[in-house]
Structure 1
Amino acid sequence: MSDTALLIIDMFNDYRHEDADQLAANVAEILGPLQRLQHAARDQRAVDIVYINDNHGDFNASGRDIVRSAQDGRYPELVDPLLPTDGSAFLTKVRHSVFYATALDYLLQRMGTKTLILAGQVTEQCILYSALDGYLRHFDVVIPSDAVAHIDEDLGTAALEMMRRNMNARITDSAHCLPRACDSDIAQR
């Protein structure tokens, strides 16, 4: 366990909704940075990884069910590279924030987490609301801007600025958000 958690949010999506094509195009752009971040977190073992995904209204769905549904969806190539490894924490959520009606706060407290790295989708929705709820719970929040996907570019940009300004979130890129990278980044200032 470390004091930093990488939360991979809502990446198991079947892309069968109104704005799916637009979102999928943006997810394709963040897939490489997010996958590198995921692998670096695993390799360094400096960060706990927690997958959190919307249950899409199916309160009986397990993490495996959600992943399988996404793999059977319209863009499995956006799902397969990020599959959780055995033993990874996987929580389901029902609304925008990863904290709303989930056991996440309890899990993070048990892990001794102080810093949250929020990655995934959607910048102007679930990432934004999760950042606010994390900030309200006194977590330091880091957003790798190249590892979050938006639906609307202008709203995504505005959400990043809101998180920076109103929630004191550190907006950086995925190569500089892990603890070791953060330490060297801070040392260079």
Structure 2
Amino acid sequence: MTRALIVIDVQESFRQGARWASVSVPDIAERVGRLVTAARDRDETVIWVLHTEPGGGAFDPSSEFVRMIDGLEPLPGEAVLTKTTRNAFTSTNLQQLLTQAGIRELTICGIQTEQCCETTARVAGDFGYDVEFVTEATATFPIPHRDAPAGRSWDEVLADPRTLGTDAIAERTEYALAGRFATIRTLDEVLSR
């Protein structure tokens, strides 16, 4: 098969902070799981990516949280890559894996919509891949305004009218990607392919 499903950062690390209560797609693991099952049923490649940030905290590679969210499990033989950059290419051998397998089409899902998922889609588009971006199978969190004071509690961030909501983030990502870097697909469109 010439298609791969790239599962980006659907990891327990995100569930450790206060902002998880504001995640845009609380059932992200279930939605991604449906895509994984469909890809496996079609004999497509599934590649898992985990984000790491050495130096302590929930994203530190020595942390017990740098693993898939419960309910998601790579099969033997499925690549599990760890990255230290926003996109899944720069600090991994993803490009090499895709090239060796002859893969030219990518379906992208995961956490965070506008960061690691969008950035990976942009880089993949620049590399010439045919990219499907499944916004419904990505998740994100409200973003504080750039001029907001540092050190505020998550409740204060949410109460700030300048905080960008998750619907606006997803919409902006779709506008930025569509027709340039990726085709936006619904979950049902990909599942029924």
CA distance in 1, matches of 2:16, 2:53: 11
SS at match of 1:81: coil
User: Is the aligned partner of 1:159 residue 2:156?
Assistant: no
Partner in structure 1 of residue 34 of structure 2: 36
Partner in structure 2 of residue 6 of structure 1: 5
Partner in structure 1 of residue 159 of structure 2: none
Equivalences for 1:126-141 in 2 at 5 Å? 126-141=116-131
- State TM-score, norm by structure 1: 0.78
**Retained in 2: the 8 A contact 1:34–1:174?**
no
User: Is the aligned partner of 1:121 residue 2:135?
Assistant: no
RMSD: 2.4
User: Is the aligned partner of 1:96 residue 2:96?
Assistant: no
Q: Larger Cα Rg: Structure 1 or Structure 2? A: 2
Partner in structure 2 of residue 74 of structure 1: none
SS at match of 2:85: coil
CA distance in 1, matches of 2:139, 2:177: 15
User: Is the aligned partner of 1:175 residue 2:188?
Assistant: yes
User: Is the aligned partner of 1:108 residue 2:119?
Assistant: no
Deviates more, 1:80-89 or 1:139-148: 80-89
1:69 offset after TM fit, Å?
Answer: 2.2
Partner in structure 2 of residue 52 of structure 1: 49
Structure 1 unmatched runs, 5+: 72-77, 182-189
1:139 offset after TM fit, Å?
Answer: 0.3
1:147 offset after TM fit, Å?
Answer: 0.7
**Retained in 2: the 8 A contact 1:11–1:79?**
yes
SS at match of 1:56: coil
CA distance in 2, matches of 1:60, 1:69: 8
- State TM-score, norm by structure 2: 0.76
SS at match of 1:28: coil
1:4 offset after TM fit, Å?
Answer: 0.4
Structure 2 unmatched runs, 5+: 143-165
